[in-house]
Chain A
Amino acid sequence: MNQILLITDGGSNVGDSPVIAAAQAYADGIVVNVAGVVDEGSIGEYGATEIAEIARAGGGMSRIVSSRQLSQTVQMMTRQTVVGTIQQAVNQELRHLLGVDSVAALPPSKRAEVVQVMEDLGETATLRVALLIDASASMKPKLSAVSEAIRDLALSLQSRAGDSAVAVFHFPGDSDREPCVMDASWMDSTARIEALFGRIRMRGTTPTGPALLRVVEFFRETCGKIMSEPVQPSSPNRRDDTDGVRSDYVV
């Protein structure tokens, strides 16, 4: 299972449309989630719409949160996406084999077995999450929260029974030809993350689209042929994923 998690605080302003880039990612089997971080003021209508659109095109979910909530939001989105991906695959099988729409349509005794299988899949499947961090100037005060969220996510992923990996990118890159920079490739240790952001040079532009495409390319290069596009979600429960009310994270 492959995911991209975009952490940003506003709209893109350079290069290709990030919405199209996210659609491209989803076509390659990578779900795109977006966390919009806003501490003061608002993200603006343009930014908020774009964030929601990127997630929708990327088959994922979006949330607009404060730095304090970032850590748990990132965890929740990652986990919900795993559950959602498996649920989709399982529902498809159920439709195919039994002609029912979802797990909920099965009698509880059958449901128990299917859910058991889903839990096992969710825990043991290989999971790769590429984090794409907006490092434009306005993000500077939020970077410590971002770094904490990454550390926390890596910790949870390491605790899974299945293989997990995290890669970290930030954008914009150092030159105009380079939309984003890789800070860490698939790594199994969290130790390096603390040091990651020391090197980042904050610059003005926000080439979200080109950066997203670059990360999709990275998936292609490192993970070989990626699985084909997941079936378009038709179940109503995925549609409300962007409205900010689902969560299974308890505080």
Chain B
Amino acid sequence: MITSSEKQQLPPGTILSGKWNGRSYRVEKLLGIGSNGQVYLVGSGRSTYALKIGNETAELQAEANVLASLDRRERGRPPFLLDVDDAAVGGREASFYVMQYVPGVPVRSYLRQHGEQWFGVIGYRLLKRLAELHAAGWAFGDLKNDNILVGSYGRVALVDFGGMTAMGRGVRQFTEIYDRGYWAAGTRTADPGYDWFAFAVLWIHVLDGKRLMNLTRTLLPQNRHPRELLALVRTNAALKPMEPWIERALEGRFRDTDEARELWRAQLQAAQGVKGGEAARVPGWMKGLFALSALLCASAAAFWLLK
């Protein structure tokens, strides 16, 4: 459901000239349609960015505020938020903000292209990103397949911060099948557990989407319960080994997101061990990849600390 005026797409080549800050952007293509605006790939000078434009000035500004606050909190990386401005579009004024462009594809497409065995690393990286947000006092809120872009070698980036909510407040934007409240598993108050729940549903959606969709269509509202999700997990070959972890996530039983991440890794290793012979080749490079990512993480941390 979007505003009628937002259904109109900007043709490639459209120039958006900022009214306040004076920067202008050339529309290259539509990247996605959000609840309160459209996201375009735009060029300015020799760089490309992602630009979100819509008519709900206050809502867009609220999202920009979240990005700005993350940028303040996470110094030492390039900022997410680059510009906030208004531009005339077809005779009407629209508001926009400009972000770093993150190339990548949603999790599901990535696994389809590169193989399901990537889900472990992607999940691990995602939990790491969530841990950072949680430590900064935010829940991501609208965690779902479309909002997670995976780049080369399973690098993940979260996009669309419209659901990001300060801990203790009502989650601003959510997607029903990922929502803890929808599954009668708790409130819609932003806390780390809200994201863990959505994270668990994410993997069911990504690895067993058809059955999940079918379940949500057929289940009566009064029967919605996390055990229904677990029943899917138990009967899916790819998800089954992760069942203990997923159960804890659905019930919110982690001390914090760092613990969730450590246990995710441990569960993956245990799962690999169980598979034995046939998978022997996989754990080798998987471990190597973990070591590499740990090394990268450590060196990034060292770099950041020394800086």
A and B found bound together: yes
Judge whether B1 and A249 touch: CB under 8 Å: yes
Task: Tell yes or no: A194 within 8 A of B by CB.
Answer: yes
Please state if A115 and B169 are interface contacts (CB–CB under 8 Å): no
Residue of B nearest to A156 (CB): B188
Q: Within 8 Å of chain A (Cβ to Cβ): is B62?
A: yes
Q: Any chain A CB within 8 A of the CB of B195?
A: no
Check if B35 sits within 8 Å of A160, measured CB to CB. no
Does the CB pair B142–A108 fall under 8 Å? no
In the assembled complex, the CB of A81 is this many whole angstroms from the nearest CB of chain B, namely 14
How distant is A112 from chain B, measured CB to nearest CB, in Å?
A: 6
Q: Is A14 an interface residue (CB 8 A)?
A: no
**Chain A proximity of B143: nearest CB distance (Å):** 12
A72 to B175, CA, bound (A): 11
Is there contact, CB below 8 Å, between A103 and B61? yes
List CB contacts (< 8 Å) of B35-81 with chain A.
35-36, 56-59, 61-62, 64-65, 68
User: Across the interface, do B20 and A159 meet the contact criterion of CB distance under 8 Å?
Assistant: no
B244 within 8 A of A: no
CB distance from B296 to the nearest CB of A (A): 34
A-B contact count (CB 8 A): 92
Could you tell me if A103 and B58 are in contact, using CB atoms closer than 8 angstroms?
yes
Measured in the bound complex, the distance between the Cα atoms of B5 and A245 in whole Å is 9
Interface residues of A in 130-180 (CB under 8 A from B): 144, 148, 151-152, 155-161
Q: Which residues of A contact B1 (CB under 8 A)?
A: 245, 247, 249, 251
CA distance A161 to B181 in the complex (A): 16
Q: Which residues of A contact B3 (CB under 8 A)?
A: 245-246
- In angstroms, Cα B187 to Cα A123, docked, is 15
Q: Decide: A249 and B35 in contact? CB cutoff 8 A.
A: yes
Return chain A residues, CB-CB under 8 Å to B269: none
Q: For the complex, is A200 an interface residue (Cβ under 8 Å from B)? A: no
Say whether B222 faces chain A, with CB atoms less than 8 Å apart: yes
Instruction: Assess the B174–A160 pair: CB atoms within 8 A.
Output: no
Residues of chain B lying within 8 A (CB to CB) of residue A248 = 35-36, 56, 59, 173
Query: Which of B35, B65, B221 lies in contact with A250, CB distance below 8 A?
Result: B35
Known A-B contacts A148-B221, A159-B181, A159-B187; A250 and B142 likewise in contact (beta carbons under 8 Å): yes
Contact of B85 among A108, A116, A152 (CB under 8 A): A108
Point out residues on B near A: beta carbons under 8 Å. Answer: 1-4, 20-21, 34-36, 56-59, 61-62, 64-65, 68, 84-86, 93, 95, 142, 162, 168-171, 173-176, 181-182, 187-189, 221-222
